[in-house]
C-alpha cells in the first residue's frame, strides 16, 4: 500500500507468524478487533535502491511476531535486513532473511517487542 502523500512511504501487509507465509492471501493491513489493534504495524521507507523497514507493536503486554512483506524488486531472495534500532537493545544487530513467498512477493519474519519499535535496513 503506497502513500498518496509520499510514494516512497509504504504501509506493509502482515500476517501472524503462525500463518504459513506461502498463503499470501492471508496478508493484509492490521485491522481493529473491537476497539483495539494488537498487531505488528509495519511500513517501508524507500530511498532510491534501499529499503528501510520500520515496525511498531501495538500490543503493550507481549512481543509480536509477524510475516511482513518487503519490496519485491529491491530485496533479493536470501538477502538480509539488519536491525539498526530496537526498543529492545538485544535485537540490534540481528538479521532477518528475505523469503520468496510467491513469485511476485517477498517477506521477512519480524518480531517487535511489547509496545516497541524496530528499524531494519
* Residue-range domain boundaries for the chain: 9-120
**What is residue 6's predicted lDDT score, i.e. its pLDDT?**
62
Per-residue pLDDT of the chain (121 residues; tens, 9 = 90+): 544 556 688 999 998 877 666 666 678 887 777 788 889 999 999 988 999 999 999 999 999 999 999 999 999 999 999 999 999 999 999 999 999 988 889 999 999 999 999 999 9
Structural Rg of the chain based on CA atoms: 13
> End-to-end distance of the chain based on CA atoms, in angstroms?
19
**What is residue 19's predicted lDDT score, i.e. its pLDDT?**
62
How many C-beta neighbours within 10 Å does residue 9 have?
Answer: 15
Return phi, psi of residue 24, to 5°: -60, -20
**What is residue 5's predicted lDDT score, i.e. its pLDDT?**
54
Q: Which three cell numbers stand for residue 24?
A: 499470501
pTM of the model: 0.86
| Cell 531472495 -> residue | 77
Distance CA 113, CA 77 (A): 26
Fold entry, domain 9-120:
Immunoglobulin-like (2.60.40)
**What is residue 36's predicted lDDT score, i.e. its pLDDT?**
81
**What is residue 3's predicted lDDT score, i.e. its pLDDT?**
47
Amino acid at each position: 500500500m503506497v502513500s498518496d502523500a509520499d510514494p516512497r512511504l509504504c504501509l506493509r501487509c502482515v500476517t501472524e507468524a503462525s500463518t504459513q507465509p506461502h498463503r499470501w492471501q492471508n496478508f493484509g493491513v492490521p485491522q481493529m478487533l473491537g476497539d483495539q489493534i494488537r498487531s505488528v504495524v509495519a511500513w517501508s521507507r524507500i530511498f532510491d535502491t534501499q529499503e528501510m523497514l520500520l515496525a511498531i507493536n501495538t500490543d503493550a503486554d507481549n512481543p509480536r511476531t509477524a510475516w511482513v512483506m518487503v519490496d519485491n524488486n529491491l530485496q533479493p531472495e536470501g538477502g538480509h535486513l539488519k536491525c539498526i534500532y530496537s526498543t529492545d537493545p538485544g535485537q540490534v544487530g540481528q538479521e532477518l532473511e528475505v523469503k520468496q513467498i510467491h513469485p511476485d512477493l517477498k517477506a521477512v519474519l519480524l518480531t517487535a517487542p511489547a509496545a516497541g519499535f524496530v528499524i531494519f535496513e
